Structure 1
Amino acid sequence: MAMTGENDRQMPVSGGIDRAMLDGLAAEVAASGLSPKRLRHVLAVRDMAARLAGLYCPEDTELLQAAALLHDMTKELSPQEQIALCDRYGIPRTRGDVLAPKCFHAMTAAALIPVMYPAFADPRIVSAVRWHTTGRVGMTLDEKLIYLADYIDESRTFPDCVTLRNLFWDAHPEQMEMPARLAHLRTVLIVSYDMTITGLIRDGVPVSPDTFLARNELLCEQNGL
């Protein structure tokens, strides 16, 4: 993927996202040089995002699908390329980020959306992409759904992903009233953070403070605090 300079930044097109725009974006992403495995994942996240939107916010289905299509646009760049993008766009990084480079792609993808895909530079899309890996305190519903879609899409075969996918869908959230449905989402997100933190500790990799804080916030909410 060619890196684009700051001088090439364009203003986003106003208005909503329609099906033709989404189809065009999918075609652009497919032609962007992602590996076949990564592209399958991206398309599966798009499909999962649509399913989740149908449960929680049908009016935002297209927006969430766009975020899903863009969430991994820099995933396959090298750590050196990621750091170069951070430097170019003034993205802060910590020593922990350098030791856990998988976190970089969420930051760099969010920075590049207004540059490479200005028609999709809606702040909600950019934010959902930015936080899809670590989570954060005060996550919006959009951010939660893209985070979860990335974790449980049908292309995922890692045991934790399969377990979490089954945990979410086996409870039949489509049969729940909205308050229970939102509580179920919160429970599943807490489990996902537990899985992520446990795996990172096992691998000897730094855990993003954003992940700890996101988990703690949801636990407090779950306990009425």
Structure 2
Amino acid sequence: MNWNEIESDLKNKLTKKRFLHTKNVVEAAKHLALKYGGDVEKASLAALLHDCAKYFSNDELLYYAENHHIKIDTVSHNDPQLLHGPVGAVVAKDLYGIVDKEIQDAICYHTTGRKDMTTLDKIIYLADFIEKGRTYPGVEAIRKTALLNLDKATMQAMTNSICHVAQMGSLIHKSTICARNDLIIKEIKKNKNESE
């Protein structure tokens, strides 16, 4: 499918609010890709498709994950909406013909993050977090950091997410903790090397 066909299909499947969010994420992803030397085309396509499985019910996500050999950890079993990323990566491939593994991975990990995130992973994670329609506490600070440092902004977004999920009394996905720790360790090593 080409861009217009994908966009038209998503417009029919997603709620009006979710589709607007998707368009905002595309805009934010393009901006971040230009700023940080990412592939604008890949970032745009990953952003367009990042929520392509968001309209699935919890039961549908679990069923789809089981039938496509997607690992369902304890946290995702208890909060199946976390599976919309991994399921979305499969939907992007099977329904929309996206064979680029980097785009699939960015869709897969846009909610939880992962250790050793690529630039595209960070762009999609962050674009989803800071798109212009987002109004949660702390978003402006993360937007400002996003203009200066992709890794620091991604860490800041993950910290915000972890704190929010903890305050709600919900389970925190270990991939988000691993991703944040990985970024912090890399930052520490970078600072140490620069000071030597």
Using the TM superposition, give the Cα deviation of residue 57 of structure 1 relative to its aligned residue in structure 2, in angstroms.
2.3
Aligned pair 1:24/2:2, yes or no? no
Which of the two has higher C-alpha Rg?
1
Q: Is contact 1:99-1:205 (8 Å) kept?
A: no
Using the TM superposition, give the Cα deviation of residue 190 of structure 1 relative to its aligned residue in structure 2, in angstroms.
1.3
Deviates more, 1:196-205 or 1:153-162: 153-162
- Normalising by structure 2, what TM-score? 0.90
**Cα deviation 1:99-131 (Å, max 9, x = unaligned):** 22331100110111111011x221111010001
Q: Is contact 1:22-1:62 (8 Å) kept?
A: no
Instruction: Provide the residue aligned with 2:183 in structure 1.
Output: 218
Runs of 4 or more above 6 Å deviation: none
Take 1:48 and 1:35, find their aligned partners in 2: how far apart are those partners?
Answer: 20
Q: Is contact 1:41-1:153 (8 Å) kept?
A: yes
Which letter does structure 2 place at the counterpart of 1:109? Answer: G
Instruction: Provide the residue aligned with 2:94 in structure 1.
Output: 115
- Normalising by structure 1, what TM-score? 0.79
Aligned pair 1:46/2:11, yes or no? no
Instruction: Provide the residue aligned with 1:85 in structure 2.
Output: 64
**Structure 1 220/55 Cα, relative in aligned 2: closer, same or farther at 3 Å?**
same
Same amino acid, percent of matched pairs: 28
| CA RMSD, Structure 1 to Structure 2 (Å) | 1.6
Alignment of 1:56-71 (within 5 A): 56-57=36-37, 60-71=39-50
Aligned pair 1:190/2:155, yes or no? yes
Take 1:49 and 1:158, find their aligned partners in 2: how far apart are those partners?
Answer: 19
**Structure 1 86/45 Cα, relative in aligned 2: closer, same or farther at 3 Å?**
same
Using the TM superposition, give the Cα deviation of residue 153 of structure 1 relative to its aligned residue in structure 2, in angstroms.
0.5
SS at match of 1:224: helix
Instruction: Provide the residue aligned with 2:169 in structure 1.
Output: 204
Aligned residues: 190
Which letter does structure 1 place at the counterpart of 2:189? Answer: G
Which letter does structure 2 place at the counterpart of 1:147? Answer: Y
Structure 2 unmatched runs, 5+: 191-196
Take 1:124 and 1:82, find their aligned partners in 2: how far apart are those partners?
Answer: 22
Which letter does structure 2 place at the counterpart of 1:116? Answer: L
Using the TM superposition, give the Cα deviation of residue 38 of structure 1 relative to its aligned residue in structure 2, in angstroms.
0.2
Which letter does structure 2 place at the counterpart of 1:40? Answer: L
Alignment of 1:173-184 (within 5 A): 173=148, 184=149
Instruction: Provide the residue aligned with 1:35 in structure 2.
Output: 15
